[in-house]
């Protein structure tokens, strides 16, 4: 008989424990991806396009033998299992709130059909929920989590899936193959997407490892330099597994390698937080933040629009917001600075910004994004306190000292030399044509944010 391998956030063939388990179980494997409208409708068009292209790359690596079906997994999978006489469905476990609910339903439907369900591995080095204090409680704070996570350890990379006898989807009766390429065509105008797929992920990782990893500790905060790995989009869809990266980091003693391992652990920490507190995706972990006064109506909505478009008049903030619109990706330093600006200079709730990011990010991930926003807001599992307010000017001057990052994304300021570009209102000729005056005064709004914080209920 046949094994069914249901691909979800594990769109690769290398280092794939569920694929190795499926191939061991039965000689023949049907690989399937189910296009499910619930998560698809909730994803912005850049993320859907990246998914479609990643599926195309996976299908190519499988010589075209990937079946893409459309519908509700709980009805599609039992039907498929029957069609190819499969006695087992293999998956990598999904720990997101929707994925867990969906998988429970699918498991019940498969049980009714007499089909076994086997979950091997997950999108994380250590499955969410696994690292706990000695009394069984979750870690609410990152540093002890990180220690526990390191002590727990992870498996070595799994065998590759090459040499698998994939079932030809053409042999499967009664299922219409779905073409996800329509999503690939709906990328917002002017946005350039990264290369996708397993090979692009491996190539990108090797280039970063060989050319930038040793300097990562110093350069990771510098958006003007190619200092970070850009692995987030690949980790999102499982084109590469963090275990592959961690295995490569092992034995490297540089501070860069140590910092990189720690950043990967943040991703795991946020997934662990969401595993224990699924509602924390949209609800503040510490509700103290919800008792503050937030702005609404006009001019708040106009300011929100200016923030989204990268037209606040603060060049560092605007360059970050325009990077998001142009590439579907934003440097971490800018994610923090622009989030702080929305929450603490414009006095808008973090959820509004989180939604905008998810709409545009190709790496958009509920755990990392929404907990990243909560970290900045001061409401998260382990947050910076609310009264830590990023200064949009000094952030720019410190982390983009020559102004190159700003000039790359803001053509109106392209002729302003050096670091002066961070304060266009101080230029002799005034703010260059076409670029806005600051929409708010940072010093005033900082004081206002602190006042509201003190007066919270």
Task: Enumerate binding residues for ligand FAD (CB under 6 A).
Answer: 220, 228-232, 235, 263-264, 266-267, 270, 332, 335-336, 339, 357, 361, 363-365, 368-369, 372-373, 376
Report which of 420, 435, 439 is spatially closest to residue 312, judged by C-alpha positions.
Answer: 439
Q: Between 372 and 424, whose beta carbon lies closer to ligand FAD? A: 372
Q: Between 107 and 323, whose beta carbon lies closer to ligand FAD? A: 323
Q: Is 139 annotated as a binding residue?
A: no
Q: Is 264 annotated as a binding residue?
A: yes
Q: Please confirm, yes or no, whether 117 is among the known catalytic residues.
A: no
State residue 216 phi and psi, 5-degree precision: -55, -40
Among candidate residues 117, 294, 397, 445, the one labeled active-site is 294
Residue where the block lists tokens 């191939």: 23
Q: Is 270 annotated as a binding residue?
A: yes
Q: Between 121 and 372, whose beta carbon lies closer to ligand FAD? A: 372
As measured in angstroms, the least distance from the Cβ of 260 to ligand FAD is 6
CB neighbours of residue 224 within 10 Å: 18
As measured in angstroms, the least distance from the Cβ of 33 to ligand FAD is 21
As measured in angstroms, the least distance from the Cβ of 343 to ligand FAD is 10
Q: Between 93 and 231, whose beta carbon lies closer to ligand FAD? A: 231
How are the residues of the chain apportioned to helix, strand and coil, as percentages rounded to the nearest 5? 55, 5, 40
Structure tokens at 282: 């949209």
Residue 15's region, left for phi above 0, alpha for psi from -120 to 50, else beta, is left
Q: If you write DSSP's letter for every residue of 72-95 in order, what string do you get? A: -HHHHHHHHHHHHTEEEEEE----
Q: Is 292 annotated as a binding residue?
A: no
Q: Between 264 and 292, whose beta carbon lies closer to ligand FAD? A: 264
Q: Please confirm, yes or no, whether 373 is among the known catalytic residues.
A: yes
Structure tokens at 274: 């969401």
Q: Please confirm, yes or no, whether 307 is among the known catalytic residues.
A: no
As measured in angstroms, the least distance from the Cβ of 358 to ligand FAD is 7
Q: Please confirm, yes or no, whether 263 is among the known catalytic residues.
A: yes
Among candidate residues 332, 397, 445, 448, the one labeled active-site is 332
Among candidate residues 205, 350, 375, 453, the one labeled active-site is 350
As measured in angstroms, the least distance from the Cβ of 262 to ligand FAD is 9
Distance CA 202, CA 239 (A): 9
Q: Between 65 and 222, whose beta carbon lies closer to ligand FAD? A: 222
User: 375 vs 166, 266, 340, 392, CA distance in Å?
Assistant: 44, 11, 10, 17
Q: Please confirm, yes or no, whether 266 is among the known catalytic residues.
A: yes
β-strand pairing of 66-70 with 28-35: parallel
Q: Is 415 annotated as a binding residue?
A: no
Q: Between 107 and 229, whose beta carbon lies closer to ligand FAD? A: 229
Q: Is the dihedral of CA 297, 302, 308, 312 positive or negative?
A: negative
- Helix H, strand E, coil C: the string for 132-173 is CCCCCCCCCCHHHHHHHHHHHCCCCCCCCCCCCEECCHHHCC
Chain centre distance of CA 337: 18
Q: Is 140 annotated as a binding residue?
A: no
Chain centre distance of CA 82: 35
Among candidate residues 6, 154, 166, 266, the one labeled active-site is 266
Q: Is 365 annotated as a binding residue?
A: yes
C-beta separation of 121 from 154 below 8 A:
no
Among candidate residues 26, 116, 117, 263, the one labeled active-site is 263
Q: How many CA atoms lie within 13 A of 412 on its CB side?
A: 18
Rg (CA), the chain: 23
User: 104 vs 35, 70, 388, 412, CA distance in Å?
Assistant: 18, 19, 41, 53
As measured in angstroms, the least distance from the Cβ of 443 to ligand FAD is 23
Q: Which residues, including other chains, have CB under 8 Å from residue 305's CB and lie 6 or more apart? A: none
Beta-bridge mates of residue 4: 30, 89
Q: Between 26 and 45, whose beta carbon lies closer to ligand FAD? A: 45
Q: Is 15 annotated as a binding residue?
A: no
Q: Please confirm, yes or no, whether 154 is among the known catalytic residues.
A: no
Q: Which residue is nearest to ligand FAD (CB)?
A: 372
Q: Is 321 annotated as a binding residue?
A: no
As measured in angstroms, the least distance from the Cβ of 335 to ligand FAD is 4
C-beta separation of 17 from 120 below 8 A:
yes
C-beta separation of 18 from 5 below 8 A:
yes
Q: Is 229 annotated as a binding residue?
A: yes
Indicate the annotated binding residues: 216, 228-232, 260, 263-270, 363-365
Indicate the annotated binding residues for FAD: 216, 228-232, 260, 263-270, 363-365
Question: Which residues are annotated as catalytic?
Answer: 263, 266, 294, 332, 350, 373
């Amino acid at each position: 008989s046949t094994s069914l391998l249901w691909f979800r956030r594990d769109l690769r063939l290398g280092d794939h424990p569920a694929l190795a388990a499926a191939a061991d179980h039965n000689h023949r494997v049907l690989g399937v991806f189910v296009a499910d409208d619930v998560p698809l409708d909730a994803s912005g068009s850049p993320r859907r396009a990246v998914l479609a292209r990643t599926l195309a790359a996976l299908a190519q690596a499988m010589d075209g033998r990937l079946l893409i079906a459309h519908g509700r997994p709980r009805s599609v999978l039992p039907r498929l299992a029957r069609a190819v006489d499969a006695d087992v469905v293999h998956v990598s476990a999904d720990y997101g709130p929707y994925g867990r609910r969906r998988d429970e339903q699918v498991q019940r439907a498969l049980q009714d059909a007499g089909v076994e369900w086997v979950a091997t591995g997950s999108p994380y080095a250590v499955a969410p929920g696994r690292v706990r204090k000695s009394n069984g409680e979750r870690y609410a704070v990152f540093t002890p989590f990180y220690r526990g996570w390191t002590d727990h350890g992870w498996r070595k990379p799994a065998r590759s899936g090459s040499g698998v006898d994939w079932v030809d989807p053409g042999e499967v009766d009664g299922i219409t193959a779905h073409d996800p390429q329509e999503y690939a065509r709906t990328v917002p105008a002017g946005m350039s997407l990264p290369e996708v797929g397993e090979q692009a992920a491996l190539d990108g990782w090797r280039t970063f490892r060989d050319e930038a990893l040793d300097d990562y500790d110093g350069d990771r905060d510098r958006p003007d330099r190619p200092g970070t790995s850009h692995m987030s989009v690949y980790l999102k869809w499982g084109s590469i597994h963090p275990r592959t990266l961690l295995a490569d980091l092992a034995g490297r003693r540089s501070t860069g390698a140590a910092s990189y391992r720690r950043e990967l652990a943040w991703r795991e920490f946020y997934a662990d937080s969401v595993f224990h507190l699924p509602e924390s995706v949209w609800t503040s972990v510490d509700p103290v933040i919800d008792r503050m006064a937030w702005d609404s109506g006009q001019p708040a909505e106009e300011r929100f629009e200016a923030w989204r478009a990268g037209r606040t008049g603060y060049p560092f903030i605007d360059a970050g917001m325009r990077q998001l619109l142009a590439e579907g990706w934003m440097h971490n330093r800018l994610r923090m600075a622009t989030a702080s600006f929305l929450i603490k200079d414009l006095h808008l709730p973090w959820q509004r910004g989180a939604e905008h990011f998810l709409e545009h990010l190709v790496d958009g991930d509920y755990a990392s994004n929404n907990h990243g926003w909560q970290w900045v807001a001061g409401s998260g599992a382990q947050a910076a306190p609310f009264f830590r307010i990023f200064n949009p000017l000094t952030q720019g001057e410190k982390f983009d000292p020559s102004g190159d990052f700003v000039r790359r994304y803001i053509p109106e300021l392209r002729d302003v030399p050096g670091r002066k570009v961070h304060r266009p209102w101080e230029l002799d000729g005034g703010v260059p044509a076409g670029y806005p005056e600051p929409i708010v005064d940072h010093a005033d709004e900082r004081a206002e944010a602190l006042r509201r914080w003190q007066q919270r209920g």
